Structure 1
Amino acid sequence: MSANPKDIKTPPVSDTVTIEVDGRRLQARKGQMLIEVTDASGIYIPRFCYHNKLSIAANCRMCLVDVEKAPKPLPACATPVAEGMVVRTRSDRARTAQKSTMEFLLINHPLDCPVCDQGGECELQDLALGYGKDVSRYAEAKRIVKDRDIGPLISTDMTRCIHCTRCVRFGQEVAGVMEFGGLGRGEHMEIRTFLDRSVDSELSGNVIDLCPVGALTSKPFRYTARPWELEDHASISPHDCVGANINVQARRGTVMRVLPRDNEAVNECWLADRDRFSYEALKGEDRLRVPMIRRGAEWEETDWATAFEFTVAGFKKVLEEHGPESLGALASPISTLEEFYLLQKLMRALGSGNVDHRLRQTDFSDDAAAPLFPSLGRPIAELENLDGALLIGANPRKDQPLINLRLRKSALKGARVFAINPVDYDFSYRLAGKLISGPAQMVRALAGVARALSVLKKAEWPAAFAKNFRDVKPGVSEQAMAEALQQSSRASVLLGSFALSHPQAAALRSLAQYVADLCGAKLGQLPDANGAGAWLAGCVPHRGAAGKTVTTGHTARGMLHAPLKACLLLGLEPELDCLDGAAAAAAMRAAEFVVMLTTFKPSPYRTSAVEYADVWMPLAPFTETDGTFVNAEGRCQEFVTAVSPLAEARPGWKILRMLGHHLGLSGFEQDGVDDVRREMNLPDAMPAASAFPYSIAATEETVPAAGQLMRLAEVPIYALDPIVRRAPALQKTADNPPPAARMNAAQADKLGLAAGANVKLVTPQGAASLELVVDDRVPDGCVLAPSGYPETVTIGAHGPVTVRAAS
């Protein structure tokens, strides 16, 4: 009697299979590619085109292996495992296939290993040793491919190209900018850029690492050193809030190259060009090598003892005549956690709470409610698994390129990403919706999203919002954003660099908090560089280290607009690093005594520090000091010195410690950065970010008068800090055009101005003459004039501006 089919229970289908590779039994996930299984098990299979972060191309055929019962060798990168599969990677059949592939790859390859920059770290060179022959059977002429100039960062020798297409797939799949492509077929195929354009992606340098041969190499590094001469030093990049892990490669005390260091939780295996090529500045001729003091109008070199005596005398004179409240300090966001801590400790030991690092912030009205540090709200790695995101005043593609990679992954998986921005930025993925408007309208647009959510969720509309946004009615776009966000189960609301420098930043934070709370999202901020570390170290006027209560001092903006009598500057050029360069320059000139701890000798072209500073102390950059950077997720990443400080330069923590000692202050006896870290006593686990209250302080809404425009003071990617501004190759890229006044075509026509004409921008602080560039990304009523350039220092920060034809 046959069994009833309903009584027969089907065994559960297992997610794993068992295979045999070279006699070893391995467990693998069903559908996993064979090469992934062998890599995880330590069984090496040669490859060129395969990369675990890229799609499978299976075009090099180097990974051919012998699979039992298969009629011919199969590519391990494109062969999914199956139950009972038996694989041999070193059988005669597999080795013959691999050696034949190598023979074909070498047919057209030039014999230029001795002069190739990839020599010593070339995958083709390594595999040719194991799989190549010592005699070629190919007698025909080898192909020649013409090299093309593709920009200041990457050198090409395309005759060496083996058509692995890694560079093509990287641009298309990871960076989101398809700059390389294949033209032609067979041996006539060429990998080249579209219409021979330059490679302009902010992540373009990654193709150098991906290229398995010497076809794409680093132009700044070219012919300067051999890989076996270099020593690796693990470090952290200081240029944005990601804290990318890097390997600083040095030879005889000089940084020669910077490469990515794998860390899946932070930067995976990628690196932004800013992190990769900025090291060039550290070898420049304008490095400050010895302390210098100004006597009258003349600058003279001196020793450290004299510099400290001169500094102490200057500070004591100001303290005696004007009191401690007349003393202040500003720090660059690229400083280390330990430098921030000792700077604020020094100021507070002298009786002053005037210390800050927020050089590009203009609204500080919610300082008391701010969390322990500006947090991303979630681990960086989680950003690639969102199903919704709202970007406010954010251009992550240029400001935080590696954050943008994570968001792009989410978008490609179907996440709906929205943006409320002052400029229609170019994203590397399709936005689900966007609102582009001037600063004041940005606040109202976010209020519209918040109001729409309150209606959808039937939530109370806070009294502060009702008072300030009485007439706000959500439009179609705001409604669509609200509906999408409230349907999301894993969403983030991110405040970017422009939002944090916005004249009404506190209002944006409060509204963003409300939006995040209603839709169950995480509120995140993207601070400048080591901004999270600065907050934790107490380098803010209203809190000490780890949030301790201290006597409140002036904010950075307060120090600039109510100038101090003495100022200590840590690693910054005030006119270029402060958003309001005009106020910074005026404040420095009004001070009686200014001390600069600086890596570079101030140039008259860039800054007027030659006139207002009294002491220059040579500051060691991040490659020449031990320290800690804290990224936006709160991850503390320690690093050590890669090379010895140049000449008489010294790490910032040592300079500040010695300055405290010479001033006769107690508590400045630390022997190393470990002592400083222990003294800070930061929590092992960072607490969850506290919420901003639903309240808006009374701040004036800046509205241009009739005939005026709103100036947007964006800081471009390669004008960010003193190191990046001096990196020659980065300064030649397409992302660093000369500063210009940008407005849309309709706005230019309305003002009677033509593209290419010289225009004059006039503000209460001063005037600047710039070329007019028609840019339809800029909304009506606005003009985009970048900050961080000497040409635009005189016109201040965001605010009303009159634009007219230059006479």
Structure 2
Amino acid sequence: MSEEIKKFKITIDGQTTEVAPGTSILNAARQIGGKSVPPAMCYYSKLENSGGRCRTCLVEVSKGSDADPRPMPKLVASCRTNVMDGMEVKNLTSEKTQEARKAVTEFLLLNHPLDCPICDQAGECHLQDLGYEHGVENTRTEFERNTYDADDLGPNIKLNMNRCILCARCVLVAGQLTNQREHGILFRGDHAEISTYLNKALDNDFIGNVIDVCPVGALTDRTARFASRVWFTKPVDATCKCEKCSGKAVLWMKGDEIVRVTARKDQYGEVEDFICNECRFEKKDAKFWNIEGPRHISRHSVISLNHYMKSDEMEVQKLENETAKEISNKDNLE
């Protein structure tokens, strides 16, 4: 009989859970759930060696462990720091963490253009959410921003390098999911950019997944560009018969028209099942799909608003609104 593995206890923003040894602080926070989960722009649980690049998941470790209760001297990247038994972490409750996240957001927006009104990712962009939560009104930099021409990486994928934050997710997914990777990060420092090798195009069967893993609007679907704003479409779960992939996808529909097809994602924006190029780019007719029902988007982005809410969720929302109104009236009377 094998010995039971001792779990480590960790407390994040006053909430305690037990996790297996080797679990990162970020995944421990995701196990707890709620607003104590740090944002992550580069970490992807399904991709090996991801994380540690964007620094948006920085947290304060106020207690290292039961064996060594000293706090860690600096903020740590929660996606790259493993849990120790008895560790205590501050995320929302740490002023240092919030200030650091604000500074990191400012750096991510250093060369990123504010072109949300024309970007296809607007409404489901992680950087857009981060900018609204931690961004500043004006930039403190005076030098000229890096600019690049838009590039076609094959027949179905468009690269707007201006928007790229060099999270390397697309490079990792191409290297780990497909048989051959034809692009990567070229040059170094502030000259680094995503590009293909000479005279190459991204055209293998699963390369379309680089669009889904991109947290910003750097990689977009050429078959759906500028077709509709995301909040004007309705996401529905659908399946099809496919020999290459699971055939499980999300159809973004405008009336009876399928505007685009994406893989299904969890609440942290990570793909549940990668889909092939045929399902993504070629099956734009409803006759290919068996529609299961509406897709509930749990993220706080605009695409989750006023779409589909279960009756119990509507009741909870109604109670929260009534409570907030009562508190406001009470404050006014006092």
TM bracket, shorter-chain basis: 0.7 to 0.9
Specify the alignment match of 2:242 in structure 1: 239
| Correspondence for 2:200 | 197
Q: Which residue of 2 aligns with 1:49?
A: 42
* Residue of structure 1 in register with 2:15 after alignment: 24
Cα drift, residue 140 of structure 1: 0.9
- The SS at the match of 2:151 is coil
Aligned residues: 277
Structure 1 residues 102 and 241 mapped into 2: Cα distance closer, same or farther (>3 Å)?
Answer: closer
Which residues of 2 match residues 40-189 of structure 1 at below 5 A? 40-42=31-33, 43-55=36-48, 56-68=50-62, 69-90=71-92, 91-189=94-192
Whole-angstrom distance in 2 between the partners of 1:641 and 1:214: 24
CA contact 2:245–2:275 (8 Å) conserved in 1: no
> Structure 2 counterpart of 1:227, which letter?
V
Aligned to 1:269: 273
| Counterparts in 2 of 1:242 and 1:108: CA distance versus 1, 3 Å | closer
Q: Distance in 1 between matches of 2:19 and 2:13?
A: 15
What secondary structure does 1:274 align onto? helix
Q: Distance in 2 between matches of 1:13 and 1:70?
A: 30
CA contact 1:245–1:262 (8 Å) conserved in 2: no
Measure the CA separation in 2 of the matches of 1:139 and 1:16.
50
Paired residues of 1:98 and 1:131 also in contact (CA < 8 A): yes
1:621 to 263, 274, 287: 287
Using structure 2 for the length normalisation, give the TM-score: 0.78
The CA distance in 1 between the partners of 2:78 and 2:240, in whole Å, is: 36
Q: Report the Cα distance in structure 1 between the residues aligned to 2:169 and 2:265, rounded to whole angstroms.
A: 18
Contact kept, 8 Å, 1:257 with 1:279, in 2: the verdict is: no
What's the % identity of the aligned pairs? 35
Alpha carbon RMSD of aligned pairs, Å?
2.2
Q: AA paired with 2:280?
A: R
Q: CA deviation at 1:40?
A: 1.7
- Is contact 1:204-1:273 (8 Å) kept? yes
- Contact 2:187–2:193 (CA under 8 A) maintained in structure 1: yes
| 1:86-115 alpha-carbon deviations (Å, 9 max, x no partner) | 100121011111111111111111121111
> Structure 1 residues 176, 92: closer, same or farther in 2, change over 3 A?
farther
Specify the code of the residue in structure 2 equivalent to 1:96.
Answer: E
Q: CA deviation at 1:71?
A: 1.1
Report how far residue 13 of structure 1 moved: 8.4
Structure 1, unmatched stretches of 5+, are 1-11, 283-619, 627-638, 643-807
Distance 2:107 2:244 in 1: 46
Any gaps of 5 or more consecutive residues in structure 2? 63-70, 296-334
Residue 146 of structure 1: how far off its partner (Å): 3.1
Superimposed CA distance per residue, residues 359-392 of structure 1 (whole angstroms, 9 cap, x where no aligned partner):
xxxxxxxxxxxxxxxxxxxxxxxxxxxxxxxxxx
Distance 1:78 1:641 in 2: 35
SS in 1 for 2:152: coil
Which residue of 190, 211, 218 maps to 1:208?
Answer: 211
Letter of the 1:74 counterpart: V
Report the equivalent of 1:278.
Answer: 282
Following TM superposition, by how much is the alpha carbon of 1:241 offset from its aligned partner in structure 2, in angstroms?
7.3
Q: How does 1:500-539 map to 2 (within 5 A)?
A: none
Q: Which is higher, the Rg of structure 1 or of structure 2?
A: 1
Residue 190 of structure 1: how far off its partner (Å): 0.6
Task: Give yes or no for contact 2:10–2:86 (8 Å, CA) kept in 1.
Answer: yes
Amino acid at match of 1:225: S
Letter in 2 for 1:104: F
| 1:337-362: CA deviation from partner (whole Å, max 9, x where unpaired) | xxxxxxxxxxxxxxxxxxxxxxxxxx
The alignment partner of 2:198 has SS state of helix
Classify the secondary structure of the residue corresponding to 2:109.
helix
* Cα deviation, residue 64, structure 1: 0.5
TM-score (norm 1): 0.33
Letter in 2 for 1:123: H
| Structure holding more helix per residue | 1
Deviations 1:106-133 (CA, angstroms, capped at 9, x unpaired): 1111121111111111111011100111
Q: Deviations over 1:172-211 (max 9, x none)?
A: 1222422221111121101111125110221111111111
| Structure-1 separation of matches of 2:208 and 2:224 | 12
Contact 2:8 2:19 in 1 (8 A): yes
Distance apart, 1:145 and its partner CA: 2.1
Q: CA separation in 1, counterparts of 2:283 and 2:104?
A: 39
- Superposed displacement of residue 232, structure 1: 1.5
Measure the CA separation in 2 of the matches of 1:36 and 1:641. Answer: 28
C-alpha spacing 1:240/1:14, structure 2 compared with 1 (3 Å): closer
Partners of 1:239 and 1:96 lie apart in 2 by 48
**Structure 2 residue identity aligned to 1:65:** V
- The verdict on how the C-alpha distance between 1:15 and 1:621 changes in structure 2, with shifts beyond 3 A counting, is same
Q: Deviation per CA, 1:698-732, whole angstroms, max 9, x where unpaired?
A: xxxxxxxxxxxxxxxxxxxxxxxxxxxxxxxxxxx
Note the C-alpha offset of 1:262: 5.1
C-alpha contact (below 8 Å) 1:249/1:256 kept by paired residues: yes
